[in-house]
Amino acid sequence: MLRVKTVKLMLILLIGTVLPQLAVAQQQVTLKDALTFALQNNTKVRNSKLDIEGGRYKVEEVRAQALPQLTGNVGLTYNPIIGQLVANFGGQTQAIKLGQNWNSTAGVQLSQQLFNQQVFTGLQAARSSEEYYSLTSKLTEEQIIELVANNYYQVLVNRQQLNVIDTNIKNVKVVEKIVGNQYKNGLARKIDVDRISVNLTNLNTQREQVINAITQLENQLKFSMGMPVSTPISLPATELTEVTTLPVFTDSIDLANRTEVKLLDNQDKLLSLQRKAYVAEYYPSLALTGNYTYSSQSDGFDFLKSNAAAIGYGASAIGLTLKVPIFNGFLTRSKIRQADVDIRKAKENRKESVNSLNLAYENAKIQLRNNINTIKSQRKNADLAQEIYKSTQNNYNNGLASLTDLLDTENALTSAQNSYTQALLNYKIAEIQLIKSNGNIKSLVQ
């Protein structure tokens, strides 16, 4: 009896552990869920956040050059042979030993930049670099949103195509049963049964291909989200709905709101600061220096007057160091001219980038107009193909239409339904491009 209770308890615990996992597995992933997950887990997004953190440390590194530099030193020297100074004292030549066998020293040195234009310009560039990493991170997020959204809708389209194939397989099986009964009763030919069988085989083959495509697209979606590909996901079909109206278009877009343009502005600033840093090489630099050293000497082992017979003494100095560049073989001039070339190239790249952004916006408007017209026509075409198929199927059952007519209308229906679904996908992709062109790609996450 006790053993039975133990088994029951284990089953309860096991069910309590498994059921939450099944519940999670059955949860559907909406587009917003997918995008939110990607912004938190995609490797590129996470690395871009780390770049921002690294940028802050870079600012601290450059700032350190403007702060006081303090170093300490300790030394111990043994002189087996002591050098001598030969001098003439009162007409007599004498030799005097210079030092003792054991010398020890300890000291500190201080250096503070008072004026160094290169260091000050470096601080400005470091702050701009921190802004650059922040903008790069934002651009990476926008690119990941675009990628995940496109992958998401592709999965939906293929799932919709799978539904179309399943419906057609169901219809063909009905015809197969009818033709099979007619063949048994001598009202249909063997070739009619074979044609139905071939058509059904082709549909099943297409179904397997679509299922494999869905699996691959789902894996690609999960990879772009930063989700393990082994994680089961389910997408709600309502995400891909019929479109009836176009969004509001403007004659032009505000490029100042685009992250790409902000990044170009930051790059221009960095190039300008780079040139300024090269020019700063012509400037003199002024630094405050100071040091203090304590020394101890003895004819026996000694470390900082540890020997009673040792002689110890201190020394200090404070000074200013002024460095004035005079001539470096036109090295600085060459650097400045290279910086000027980089600035001119950046201006040309800006023109092309701005033109590319405007082109993407205009193309998105054209594609949306074309796609909504295609959606309307393909919707009507699919409805008409459905009516024709039902009518042909009814005529076939009544002996008023041939099997060829029925199969042709079934193929036409499949093609029309797939064309309509593809038109929805094309519209969604163009819509994403339009939202991106307006600088509002993150609105998909809200």
Confidence of residue 16 (pLDDT cuts 50, 70, 90): very low
Beta bridge partners of 288: 112, 320
Confidence of residue 49 (pLDDT cuts 50, 70, 90): very high
Determine the average pLDDT of the residues in 383-390: 91
Question: Residue 27's pLDDT is what?
Answer: 67
Determine the average pLDDT of the residues in 166-187: 86
Residue carrying the six token digits 């309502």:
238
How confident is the prediction for the chain on average, in pLDDT? 86
* Range with the largest mean pLDDT of 20-29, 337-346, 372-381, 384-393: 337-346
Three-state secondary-structure class, residue 422: helix
In 3D space, the residue among 339, 319, 340 whose CA is nearest the CA of residue 114 turns out to be 319
Question: Residue 13's pLDDT is what?
Answer: 41
CA-angle at 266, arms to 261 and 267, nearest 5°: 95
Determine the average pLDDT of the residues in 335-361: 94
Question: Residue 180's pLDDT is what?
Answer: 87
Q: How many percent of the chain have pLDDT more than 70?
A: 93
Question: Residue 19's pLDDT is what?
Answer: 35
CA-angle at 339, arms to 333 and 340, nearest 5°: 90
Least confident segment among 99-108, 248-257, 384-393 = 248-257
CA-angle at 16, arms to 14 and 22, nearest 5°: 95
Q: How many percent of the chain have pLDDT more than 90?
A: 42
The pTM of this model reads 0.80
Three-state secondary-structure class, residue 329: coil
Confidence of residue 34 (pLDDT cuts 50, 70, 90): very high
Q: How far apart are CA 84 and CA 94, in angstroms?
A: 10
Determine the average pLDDT of the residues in 239-256: 77
Confidence of residue 222 (pLDDT cuts 50, 70, 90): very high
Q: How far apart are CA 365 and CA 252, in angstroms?
A: 11
Q: How far apart are CA 289 and CA 321, in angstroms?
A: 7
Helix axes 117-184, 259-279, angle to 10 degrees: 150
Strands, E, within 57-178: which ranges?
Answer: 69-78, 84-89, 92-97, 102-115
Determine the average pLDDT of the residues in 223-236: 91
> Using one digit for the tens of pLDDT, what is the confidence trace for 267-293?
999 999 999 999 999 999 999 999 999
Cβ atoms of 225 and 152 within 8 Å: the answer is no
Contacts of 331 (CB under 8 A, 6+ apart): none
> Using one digit for the tens of pLDDT, what is the confidence trace for 409-421?
988 988 898 888 8
401 has a pLDDT exceeding 90: no
Question: Residue 17's pLDDT is what?
Answer: 42
129 has a pLDDT exceeding 50: yes
Q: How far apart are CA 312 and CA 298, in angstroms?
A: 9
Question: Residue 22's pLDDT is what?
Answer: 36
Confidence of residue 340 (pLDDT cuts 50, 70, 90): very high
Confidence of residue 151 (pLDDT cuts 50, 70, 90): very high
7 has a pLDDT exceeding 60: no
Strands, E, within 98-150: which ranges?
Answer: 102-115
> Using one digit for the tens of pLDDT, what is the confidence trace for 61-111?
888 888 999 999 999 988 888 888 888 887 788 888 888 888 889 999 999
Confidence of residue 166 (pLDDT cuts 50, 70, 90): very high
Determine the average pLDDT of the residues in 298-316: 81
14 has a pLDDT exceeding 60: no
Q: How far apart are CA 111 and CA 252, in angstroms?
A: 56
Question: Residue 179's pLDDT is what?
Answer: 85
In 3D space, the residue among 189, 345, 208, 374 whose CA is nearest the CA of residue 271 turns out to be 345
In 3D space, the residue among 261, 264, 268, 240 whose CA is nearest the CA of residue 438 turns out to be 261
Residue carrying the six token digits 């339009």:
434
